[in-house]
Amino acid sequence: MKTVKNIIFYLCLPLLISGFGQADAAIPPDRLISADLKALFADPPSVKGYPYQELFKKAAQRYGLPLPYLLAVARGESFFDPNAVSSKGAIGLMQVMPATAGDYGVKKEKLFDPAENIDTGAHLLSDLNTRLNDPYLALAAYYCGQGGVDIDNFTIREDCNEYVHYIHSHLEKILKKAGQHLPDSAVMEKHFVLTVFDNFLDAQSFVKFLSEKLPLMQFEIFRKEAALQDHNRYQYQIMAAISGKKTKNEVCAMVEKASGFSFCDGKGE
């Protein structure tokens, strides 16, 4: 049985060769993602079945943003956890920094209130989109501030660009369900972590690989802070859904049989 390290090396090698030393490079937005975001703003689809749906809907209408755009940010930032707190101090569903909330007259403790958190995050995104006049640049600035965006040359820092790719992957999940007959209330599936990548594009390639092997299974990518010895950084967790009556071990066995890679340690439900 091959180990996860083998496939990480296999997927990472081309990027390591081509991207070494380019972490702070200024690059233009991805044209396909940019087109997707502009189309979303021009004609947003109807979506439902998400946590705090009505609060997101009200905020989207109040600040002139597409509902899926807001949902994608919340899905990628916190997976709809109103109590999420990052090591840097970002809080709640939209992972709003207390200092940013203060600019909008919202106190830190109020950020644990889903209504206040969603409203503040949506207000910030709307202001960024108005200021930068581009939904792609607005997403980049939401993560890294306007210092990571060069509006004159229409370029962004590479780590900011990776964030936009990451949020776009969550947007794709939301848009895929648009128009389906989903319940108005949210039904959240249980997930568990298969493995972790340091680079989003590697994680995305691996999810594509798994999805081709197991098209009926659901895999997610969730960005998580990792505390290292001298600093914190983001890593990308590959998560598998536990649906129906299947246990974690049964899902692990299916993934290992189909992919040839061993992930699970035999623990879990």
What distance separates the 2 farthest-apart alpha carbons in the chain? 56
Distances (CA, A) of 147 to 102, 135, 140, 263: 20, 16, 10, 39
User: Which of helix, strand or coil describes residue 20?
Assistant: coil
33 burial level (CB within 10 Å; 0-12, 13-18, 19+): buried
Q: Specify whether 77 is catalytic.
A: yes
Question: What is the distance between the alpha carbons of residues 38 and 41, in angstroms, rounded to a whole number?
Answer: 5
Q: Out of 77, 116, 162, 220, pick the active-site residue.
A: 77
Report residue 249 as tokens. 């071990």
Question: What is the distance between the alpha carbons of residues 132 and 42, in angstroms, rounded to a whole number?
Answer: 17
In DSSP notation, 134-147 reads -HHHHHHHHHH-GG
Return the active site residues. Answer: 77
